Structure 1
């Protein structure tokens, strides 16, 4: 509990001089007025908007045969918690920055700052109504939340409170150790964690749709399997035919007949024919290969089952890739961010003079220090809105509290952003009061009541729902069945172009070989003719 008001002793000629323009609002004055030669009246003036001194006792100084004494009929200091349950209409000065959804600050044409809504505005209005005070707003010149700086100064809202320029500050202000050294915080009225937001992962090119279902090693194994399947079947057929000398097995009729009425004879194929036949089976086009040898039939049966399995897996995967496009791997943790900095040039973006900047900047080592090394002077922003919008233009990962990121993601379009799954640095928000503030305790009492009643969470949800409604309508309009376009089928056309190009190259090679062979034949004929003539 914060201490009570501190006594300040001043000598004044009368009661009218007890208060002066330099008197601090909410001070408590104790006045001792001389009644007789050695007798003094003790009065106390409590802040009630006007000088109102109440007699609480009298004192007698030492004299001849008299012992100094002081008799008090009332306390010199009232219980500040009980006293400040009613501020009696006093006017307080608060500071805040424009930080919706917590505190929206609107500037009037005459330069006056007024509250425009937000979760913390609801908290402040409830405090004012409950404790019977009014307030006006001001904003820090630097527009920052504030931290103690190395040169001894204090920036932002924290500095305004520490220098007694304002009575208190409320605006998503995180309770931290360095800040508590210069100001007092109430107990936290809202708790949440920190995460980071990046641009939504880009869709992978559909040009690789036909090869994406299987990994590279799977494709290599499949190509080798298809290439060797034909020669293996040819080997089985040749071996069986040589052992049985072309006669079919006893009790089994041949699996083919050349023509009706023709005499049966054993049929064998070239290795190229076996290889192409196995390829036809692999691409689900059937085959004209026929055999009656049990070993060959067993091999073909297992080959059919193998191809059916591969085809089903491949066809299902291609269908899913066409219906649901594949995206780049998103960043889900701080370690992912550090890795992405090295591989893709991502940087961590932070709010200036914030608690988030402090935790990374002051880290001596480990992951937090590694994240700090990804920053540069260009990534620090003046507001959360600037930080969130910045990730759409650059490879930034903006680090901030979860609720503020959600709100701004909905505002700019949820589909444009990705929020990391990992959360860290749990933080609590409190009202910033002057050191030794007499009304901090009563602020805490009211804050605990509204927090336990669920009002703070309700106000936070109201702000989130307000921005989410319009965003949901846009997403519903964008959703629905999409017709297949050339973009979806570009992989098939690319494969066709590659096949045609390869066929053209092979044709050109065949023509060159044919010309070369024709030249050789012409040369041989010329040589033979010349020899005969001779």
Structure 2
């Protein structure tokens, strides 16, 4: 049978010539559409909402101040600052108001507010149309960096090539982070639905050679149904396949010739 040549195995067996390669990949939950219960508020950022609220309050204060100054000059009566803030807010949500003074200063302020309301309303409608027309999905896990940025637990098959790589070889800083949080399973466990289901629901990120990982998870995919799994596009490493022979086997060289 074929084995991945690793240093520990060379102590007890001999490997023939390399005849194929097999990438180590990450199998994870397929991207899911985001459910946004507060979508109407998420169209604009918090800074934009704060600017809009500040503009409403500012316009109300300006009009209230102008009315107060005019009252001191010629006795013109008007509403309070809170009423003018409310009137500005009505304009922002496309509602009419009878509280605006009918002289040039207030008309200038109200005209500016109306212009801002038209621009903001157009941007809001366009943005919410784009949000609804193009559904957002969770980002796929295509690399080890992506996996470590999530809450997924790396799952590795015992005595596999990735297992040896992360435990016994120099796998770098990221390999150390994987060793600290990974869980190890037997090959029998990883072929059962109890484990595969936890990969599909986003509990585990399954790290194994492509032939093994895709074979174990692919048996639970169904034609005509949404995909349950995502295969990472960036391989973690490349494994080499070769036939294994007993030490000093006389047939090794004959197989190498074939």
TM-score higher than 0.5: yes
Which residue does the alignment assign to 1:385?
191
Deviations for 1:286-308, whole angstroms, at most 9, x for unmatched residues?
55546442x54444444334333
Superposed displacement of residue 442, structure 1: 5.5
Change (3 A) 1:336 1:351: same
Cα distance in structure 1, aligned partners of 2:59 and 2:22: 61
Which residue does the alignment assign to 1:112?
none
Change (3 A) 1:244 1:391: same
Question: Which runs of no fewer than 5 residues in structure 1 stay unpaired?
Answer: 1-168, 247-265, 447-534
Cα distance in structure 2, aligned partners of 1:193 and 1:305: 58
Q: More displaced, 351-360 or 274-283?
A: 274-283
Q: Which residues of 2 match residues 300-339 of structure 1 at below 5 A?
A: 300-328=110-138, 331-339=141-149
Confirm or deny: 8 A CA contact 1:230 1:271 kept in the other structure.
yes
Alignment: residue pair count: 249
Which residue does the alignment assign to 1:402?
210
Superposed displacement of residue 176, structure 1: 2.0
Cα distance in structure 2, aligned partners of 1:438 and 1:299: 96
Change (3 A) 1:302 1:436: farther
RMSD in angstroms over aligned alpha carbons? Answer: 3.5
Cα distance in structure 2, aligned partners of 1:416 and 1:335: 21
Cα distance in structure 2, aligned partners of 1:391 and 1:357: 18
Confirm or deny: 8 A CA contact 1:185 1:431 kept in the other structure.
yes
Cα distance in structure 2, aligned partners of 1:281 and 1:444: 83
Confirm or deny: 8 A CA contact 2:90 2:97 kept in the other structure.
yes
Which residue does the alignment assign to 1:25?
none
Cα distance in structure 1, aligned partners of 2:233 and 2:21: 18
SS at match of 1:358: helix
Confirm or deny: 8 A CA contact 1:356 1:400 kept in the other structure.
yes
Superposed displacement of residue 189, structure 1: 2.9
Cα distance in structure 2, aligned partners of 1:305 and 1:192: 62
Which residue does the alignment assign to 1:476?
none
Deviations for 1:73-119, whole angstroms, at most 9, x for unmatched residues?
xxxxxxxxxxxxxxxxxxxxxxxxxxxxxxxxxxxxxxxxxxxxxxx
SS at match of 1:353: coil
Structure showing greater Rg: 1
Which residue does the alignment assign to 2:167?
361
> Residue 219 of structure 1: which of 49, 72, 88 is its match?
49
SS at match of 1:224: helix
Confirm or deny: 8 A CA contact 1:234 1:269 kept in the other structure.
yes
Cα distance in structure 1, aligned partners of 2:95 and 2:33: 33
SS at match of 1:306: helix
Confirm or deny: 8 A CA contact 1:197 1:388 kept in the other structure.
no
Change (3 A) 1:308 1:191: farther
Question: Which runs of no fewer than 5 residues in structure 2 stay unpaired?
Answer: none
Superposed displacement of residue 216, structure 1: 3.5
Cα distance in structure 1, aligned partners of 2:211 and 2:127: 37
Cα distance in structure 2, aligned partners of 1:330 and 1:243: 66
Which residue does the alignment assign to 1:283?
93
Superposed displacement of residue 406, structure 1: 4.3
Which residue does the alignment assign to 2:28?
198
Confirm or deny: 8 A CA contact 1:338 1:374 kept in the other structure.
no
Confirm or deny: 8 A CA contact 2:26 2:141 kept in the other structure.
no
> Residue 431 of structure 1: which of 231, 236, 243 is its match?
243
Q: More displaced, 361-370 or 266-275?
A: 266-275
Superposed displacement of residue 399, structure 1: 0.5
2:62 is aligned with 1:232? yes
Superposed displacement of residue 203, structure 1: 4.7
2:7 is aligned with 1:177? yes
Cα distance in structure 1, aligned partners of 2:127 and 2:212: 38
Superposed displacement of residue 444, structure 1: 4.5
Confirm or deny: 8 A CA contact 2:161 2:239 kept in the other structure.
no
Which residue does the alignment assign to 2:182?
375
